[in-house]
Copies of this chain bind each other. A is one copy, B any other.
Amino acid sequence: MTSVDEPAQTNGRIRDAARTQAEILDVATREFARAGYDGARVDEIAARTRTTKRMIYYYFGGKEQLFTAVLERAYGVIREAEQQLDVEHLDPVAAIRRLAELTFDHHEQHPDFIRLVSIENIHGAEHIAASEKLGRIGSPALEVIRRILGQGQESGLFTADVDAVDLHAMISSFCFFRVANRATFGALFGRDLVAPAQREHYRTMLGDMVIAYLTAERAAD
């Protein structure tokens, strides 16, 4: 399998701290996402790596800290995607729809992230609490929502009494549920929420829902 014609110095140094750490994180992400925190095995993670279990403890300290590092990286990825978002040139309705679709797409493309978040919730978010990075960074998406919402409400397009965090929760809940509960929903109702054929249908449904909520006339209380 491995080519032997290469000289002793193979492509890339044999000792590469950064590569080793990254490889451990990659494998650990898959394993934790697959089996849950307690279901994942440190030995198994090590075995799927080109290095040994010793290195997991050398670089991360232990299973708990490894999981925290995995979480930190996973949250970093979605934050990065949110930062790419450019909706300045769009009208509020189109901007919100674009934002919702970004969340929709990211969740669909990163089921491992969704599973990690589910797992972290089972454990009461204790790893987020223990993490310095994940403390109270929030999400770039929130800032974007705040801005769009402000514009939309000023222009009278959107109902006035909507909060950015709440809207983020609304969008996330739909995107999250679809991926996180795919298995049970499919087993109980016979419908695969993540089937490619239904993708556009649910993507549109999400946008319609959010826009309908934002533009609906609400009974004054």
Contacts and interface: CB of A to CB of B under 8 A. Distances in A.
Contacts of A189: 138-139, 142, 165, 168
Interface in A111-141: 115, 117-125, 128-129, 134, 136-139
B174 A174 contact: yes
Interface residues of A, number: 57
Contacts of A37: 36, 38-39
Contact of A174 (B170, B186, B212): B170
A37 B115 CA distance: 15
Copies in the complex: 2
Contact of A36 (B38, B205, B209): B38
A177 interface: yes
Interface of A: 35-39, 115, 117-125, 128-129, 134, 136-139, 142, 165-166, 168-170, 172-174, 176-178, 180-191, 193, 202, 205, 208-209, 211-213, 215-216, 218
